[in-house]
Structure 1
């Protein structure tokens, strides 16, 4: 019973905040996803990442090991999802990237914070950074046929990650007044991302959900399994292992739908994957958390 309450306390705020965004749109109120997303990804999330890394209570070696484990885990996920797409005779441009890259920002970061505290958030930032680098290079290449390493370097969250890693490695800290300011800005990130997730899901139009549900279940098994294999392989400590598994098990990101629209892939099935996998995560993520906590 205590475990059930613990998991509920962790997951309920995440899905309630997303529900607020969903209901907000259904009531007909205006919500600029473009503005809020730009504010979050340009300002709030980079501040959150920098402070989390600077203050993380973990040795640099542990961070390096988790980074390598995350990279290997994503290679396993890529191989598994490629086999799935080919076996199901699906369009690679449409399905491969969404199945690989989950919602490690909007869902993964809050879950890690609520489940594992500040240390978990720091670990989650590492996994998120690895995913972002792969997504902006290999992921875009999968959808559009061309990746952009230059775009990766231009992303504020990547710069914040590198700067935070430098401060962690050197043991530096920003002045208290600046740290408090950055923390205050970073605190906007999680509620903004979760409410925006609910708004985006509410606005998606979906069809043929049967296939999307089946693919979402298989994606969850591939990603969760890859996270567990990598965690065991690299001997991660329980918190780092739990964070890696949860991050990889997050549902298809709304950004996958936006990229499909932008680069001419078939966006409708991707929308179905976003909705189906997000709804599935309401049941799956609490079970995963119960396993890893």
Structure 2
């Protein structure tokens, strides 16, 4: 009973904040998702990442182990999903990237923070950074036929990750007034991302919901199994393993829908994956968290 209450206390804020965004739009209120997303991704999230890494107390060798495990996990997931798409004769442009990459930003970072505190957030940022680089290079290439590593490096979130890692490695600290300012800006990130997720889902027009549900279940099984196996192989500690599994197992990201719409993939099919996998995660992530705690 205590475990169930603990899990509920962790996951409830994540889905309640998303529900606020969903209800807000359904009531006819205005929400400028492009502006809010730009504010979060170019200012608030980079500040959150930078300060979290700079102030983390995680040992460098533990961060290295998690980084290698995350690279290995996403490598295996990539091969598994490409094989699945080939065997089922699915359109690679539409289905491959959404099934590989989860919503490690909007859902993964808040969930890791609520479950494991600042240490969990520090670990989650590492996984998030690795996923972002792979997603915006190989993932974009799958959808658009082109990807740019240079563009990834110029992304504020990636820049914040690299800069934060350098400060962590060197033991540097910004002056207190700068740290406090960046920390306040970063505190906007988690509620903004979750509310925006709810808004985005409310505006989606999903298609092929039965197939989307089946594929979402397969994605969940593959990602969870691979991440857990790789984490054990690298002998990650309890928190690092939990964060890796939760991050890799997150549902399809709304950004996958945006990329599909931008580059001519079947956006309605991707919207179906986003909706189905997110609704599935309402039950799946608490259950998964119960095994990981």
Residues 195-234 of structure 1 aligned to structure 2 (within 5 Å): 195-234=195-234
Q: Which deviates the most, 183-192 or 225-234?
A: 225-234
Q: Which deviates the most, 174-183 or 249-258?
A: 174-183
TM-superposed CA distance for 1:160, in Å, is 0.5
Give TM-score, length-normalised by structure 2.
0.99
TM-superposed CA distance for 1:208, in Å, is 2.2
Residues 247-262 of structure 1 aligned to structure 2 (within 5 Å): 247-262=247-262
Residues 21-170 of structure 1 aligned to structure 2 (within 5 Å): 21-170=21-170
1:178-236 C-alpha deviation (Å, 9 max, x unpaired)? 11111100000000000000000000001221100000000000000111011011111
Indicate the residue corresponding to 1:171 in structure 2.
Answer: 171
Segments of 5+ residues of structure 1 without an aligned counterpart are none
Distance 1:249 1:153 in 2: 25
Distance 2:290 2:159 in 1: 34
1:103-144 C-alpha deviation (Å, 9 max, x unpaired)? 000000000000000000000000000000001100000001
Residues 269-288 of structure 1 aligned to structure 2 (within 5 Å): 269-288=269-288
Q: Aligned residues, how many?
A: 293
TM-superposed CA distance for 1:172, in Å, is 1.0
TM-superposed CA distance for 1:88, in Å, is 1.3
1:39-72 C-alpha deviation (Å, 9 max, x unpaired)? 0000000000001111111111111111111011
TM-superposed CA distance for 1:255, in Å, is 0.2
Distance 1:150 1:28 in 2: 40
1:70-105 C-alpha deviation (Å, 9 max, x unpaired)? 011001111111121112110001000000000000
Distance 2:231 2:54 in 1: 23
Distance 1:148 1:163 in 2: 20
Secondary structure of the residue aligned to 1:10 is helix
Distance 2:190 2:10 in 1: 14
Distance 2:251 2:17 in 1: 16
Indicate the residue corresponding to 2:180 in structure 1.
Answer: 180
Indicate the residue corresponding to 2:4 in structure 1.
Answer: 4
